[in-house]
Structure 1
Amino acid sequence: MSDSERPGWAVRLRAEREARGWNKREMARRLLRAAGHAYGSLDSLTRQIRDWENGRHFPRDWAGAYATAFGVPEAALFLRPAMAELPDAADFDDELEALELARRAAASDVGAETLEVLEMVVDEFAIAYPGTPPAELLRRVRRTLSYVMQLLDGRKTLTEHRRLLVVGGWLSLLAATCHTDLHQRSAATARLRAAAQMAEHADHPEIAAWCLETEAWRALTDGDYQRAVTLSKGAQTVAPKSSSAYVQATAQEGRAWARLGARPETHKSLDRVARLVEPLPMPDRPEHHYRYDPAKGDAYAATTLSWLGDPSAEPYARRVLARLESAEEGPPRPRRAASARLDLSLALLSADQPDEAVHLTHAAIASGVLVPSNHWRAAEVVAAVEALRLPEAAELREAYRGLRTVGEAGGPPAIG
């Protein structure tokens, strides 16, 4: 395939490698080193490098490692929009207009370059999700979805049509997640239905499984724990066994069993998650919402064990919080850190350590990053402190009322 027939990013990957005098096997070694993988098949990665340089597939999971290995900014190497920084609305609209202009200049209704950029945008949104207010991210997702809908109405090949459906499915799923965080139930239901339909038409079982897993999370926050178990099992049935959706659905099942107080089932689920997570390498962008990694396994174990009232929750929760607060463990993830503080607070209350529990709960409530769909978790700790008749209970309840006041309208009712 000539340079003119390959995507620009594929041409750049080969040019950067050859400029350094590296063969494909050496490139594979450097990618593994840049990604921090303790293991990996050089032969398999070498074959993938050949496919990437020919433009057959985009190196989605290895883009960051490529940038590190070459010492070139990822945005420059792949010409990917810096969505993780989420520019303001005007800048974002300009980016969509630029994408539309490039599409028209290529004299195509869709085109490979447009699809590649949209697929990268989906990843950037998923990476931005843990650290971005859901209402802000939702605005960006909705604008992009609108653009995708326009493209679906145009002429395209069957392959282009399927790729657009997949992009639309991921965007609809992420929109549903934002609506759920904002406790906008009707909108979340509609978005999930749309995502499931696109997944069906595109024959994409992973998106279908994530739809069921998201429904399971909603059922869990609603207190319908048995339905959460059923939905989690359904997601595992649909999901590819090697996918992040399968691991996440297994973890979600364990959390639902914990809320039901079913200890044997809870520990079985946790053991299954541990076995699934053990061989997983740490991804170069662990904050990606739809990519499971070993750190998420510990976080889910901490939550599950704290809900079960298991004393082993405390060391898990401490490790998770220390990792999230370490500058050496990737970019800040304040929303996950706030949840980890609530997990540790519950564990400490079970271990009769209320002083630290109160302090951590105050910190989580005052962080300003708890989304409305997680307010009930703070309320649960507040109610547990009140049940102990601690003198700090009144102040903690007042802080929680302040959280509810500044939060989105229509959140879940307070506990206690």
Structure 2
Amino acid sequence: MWSQKRMAAELRNAADADLQGSLPEIASLVRGIRRYEAGEHRPEDPYRTLYCRVFRMSEEELFGARPEVPERDDETDALELAQRISATDVGEETLSRLEGAVDDLAVAYPRTPPAELLIRTRRHLAYVARLLDGKKTLAEHRRLLVTAGWLSLLASTCHIDLRQFPAGAARLRTAAQLARHTEHAEIAAWCLETEAWQALTSGDHRRALDLSQGAQAVAPKGGSPYIQATAQEGRVWARLGGRRETRAVLRRVEGLVSSLPTPDRPEHHYRYDPAKSIAYTATTLAWIGDPAAEPYARQVLARLESADGPARPRRAVSARLDLSLALLAADQPEEAAHVTLSALTSGRLVPSNFWRAAEIIERIEARRLPEATELHEAYAHLRQASA
């Protein structure tokens, strides 16, 4: 994760020789970067171009499409109207609806493409930034900062899903800063858990272990981020090959969720649903090569694809990858290949899970199955479409 000073140096290095002479000093660039990461402004030329060069992304990918006229959005339009009719610059109605919008975005996460959700989250962050410039009480100011913290955290998660790590790190750094300012332990813990998840998907398992344990130390005991970070620790131990530690953590998670009620909106990304523990058990057992993962994975997949429950297509795709690994451990490679192909062609596999599919394909190729060629082609097509 780059510091703001390192980011300023990278921007300066990305400039052409003629432009470098007109750029301000590093300290001034750092102040501009800090304001950008806090959501106080959006970079304009030439800084937009420099950011794109540093991150090797197009302007639309990094900042979204640049509209010819100010872009309007029904959600934020409604919030602005609520603000205008309230008794203060901010008001209880506006704050309550903003907090409700955060919950709605978190509920939308499991079924919405991350690029689409990121656009909506950015709009709300921009609106919160405008409200922070207005008159407000101390209590209103803190609620706005907490809202900005949740939105920055969700935006970071979307960036990580898209493998846009520098942008994700900047958002995550902002969320952690807002958590410190507001002394919000839950957001602080989720920041560490999210960073642990990124480290895990990037193969940095030791760092993922430290971060997941650090999240547990910060989180309110027994709360959603505490349980999630504990489950994350179990998955890390599985990747490290620690079978004894893995099973010990699975028992801890089982104890934590045994009396946990189902939340009102179980699909909420930041509210732990006890049913999630079965999915984490399936993943964790599959990663240590335990055939016992198979019935868990089948149970999770059946629940997620049931017509009775809410649609969670992205989680269903992850469950298919878990089932594929479990089937390989149970020496059923043909079905594993079929299940993997359905995940690859679902249109719901996000870039942060590509590595999981690649590992399964590698194991199927090692068994010299004829299905390996079709899987390899489907995976290559998926990567090309994502790029």
Question: Under a length normalisation based on structure 1, what TM-score does the superposition of the two structures give?
Answer: 0.75
Cα distance between partner residues in 2 of 1:94 and 1:222: 37
| Pair 245,152 (structure 1): closer, same or farther in 2 beyond 3 Å | same
Corresponding residue number in structure 2 for 1:385: 364
Which amino acid in 2 is paired with 1:368? G
Asked if 2 retains the 8 angstrom alpha-carbon contact of 1:251 and 1:300, the reply is: yes
Residues 169-318 of structure 1 mapped to structure 2, 5 A cutoff: 169-318=149-298
Select the residue among 330, 349, 363 that pairs with 1:370.
349
Cα distance between partner residues in 2 of 1:379 and 1:300: 20
Instruction: Quote how far apart the aligned CAs of 1:401 are.
Output: 0.6
Cα distance between partner residues in 2 of 1:336 and 1:96: 29
Q: Which consecutive segments of 4 or more residues in structure 1 shift more than 4 A?
A: none
Which amino acid in 2 is paired with 1:94? D
Q: Does 1:355 align with 2:337?
A: no
Q: Does 1:394 align with 2:373?
A: yes
Instruction: Quote how far apart the aligned CAs of 1:102 are.
Output: 2.2
1:218-268 Cα shifts (integer Å, max 9, x gaps): 110111101100000000000001210000000000000000000111111
1:260-302 Cα shifts (integer Å, max 9, x gaps): 0001111111111111111111223111101111211000110
Cα distance between partner residues in 1 of 2:310 and 2:154: 21
Which amino acid in 1 is paired with 2:269? H
Instruction: Quote how far apart the aligned CAs of 1:167 are.
Output: 0.5
Instruction: Quote how far apart the aligned CAs of 1:92 are.
Output: 6.8
Residues 90-109 of structure 1 mapped to structure 2, 5 A cutoff: 93-109=73-89
Cα distance between partner residues in 2 of 1:325 and 1:120: 27
Q: Percent identity?
A: 69
Choose 187-196 or 330-339, whichever is displaced more: 330-339
Which amino acid in 1 is paired with 2:122? R
- What runs of 5+ residues in structure 2 fail to find an aligned partner? 1-69
Instruction: Quote how far apart the aligned CAs of 1:383 are.
Output: 0.5
| Pair 313,92 (structure 1): closer, same or farther in 2 beyond 3 Å | farther
Choose 93-102 or 310-319, whichever is displaced more: 93-102
Q: Does 1:403 align with 2:375?
A: no
Instruction: Quote how far apart the aligned CAs of 1:103 are.
Output: 0.9
- What runs of 5+ residues in structure 1 fail to find an aligned partner? 1-89, 410-416
Corresponding residue number in structure 2 for 1:153: 133
Asked if 1 retains the 8 angstrom alpha-carbon contact of 2:125 and 2:148, the reply is: yes
Corresponding residue number in structure 1 for 2:45: none
Superposition CA RMSD, Å: 1.2
1:32-55 Cα shifts (integer Å, max 9, x gaps): xxxxxxxxxxxxxxxxxxxxxxxx
3-state secondary structure, aligned to 2:270: coil
Q: Does 1:124 align with 2:92?
A: no
Asked if 2 retains the 8 angstrom alpha-carbon contact of 1:134 and 1:181, the reply is: yes
Residues 60-139 of structure 1 mapped to structure 2, 5 A cutoff: 93-139=73-119
Asked if 1 retains the 8 angstrom alpha-carbon contact of 2:86 and 2:93, the reply is: no
1:103-144 Cα shifts (integer Å, max 9, x gaps): 122241111110000000000000000000000000000010
Asked if 2 retains the 8 angstrom alpha-carbon contact of 1:345 and 1:361, the reply is: yes
Select the residue among 325, 343, 363 that pairs with 1:346.
325
Cα distance between partner residues in 1 of 2:211 and 2:294: 28
Which amino acid in 2 is paired with 1:390? L
1:31-78 Cα shifts (integer Å, max 9, x gaps): xxxxxxxxxxxxxxxxxxxxxxxxxxxxxxxxxxxxxxxxxxxxxxxx
1:342-393 Cα shifts (integer Å, max 9, x gaps): 1000010111101110110010001000111111111111011001111111
Corresponding residue number in structure 2 for 1:79: none
Which amino acid in 1 is paired with 2:199? A
Cα distance between partner residues in 1 of 2:72 and 2:97: 14
3-state secondary structure, aligned to 1:294: coil
Choose 165-174 or 155-164, whichever is displaced more: 155-164
Which amino acid in 2 is paired with 1:126? A
Instruction: Quote how far apart the aligned CAs of 1:91 are.
Output: 10
Cα distance between partner residues in 2 of 1:270 and 1:226: 19
Which amino acid in 2 is paired with 1:357? A
Asked if 2 retains the 8 angstrom alpha-carbon contact of 1:92 and 1:140, the reply is: no
Asked if 1 retains the 8 angstrom alpha-carbon contact of 2:267 and 2:273, the reply is: no
Asked if 2 retains the 8 angstrom alpha-carbon contact of 1:166 and 1:199, the reply is: yes
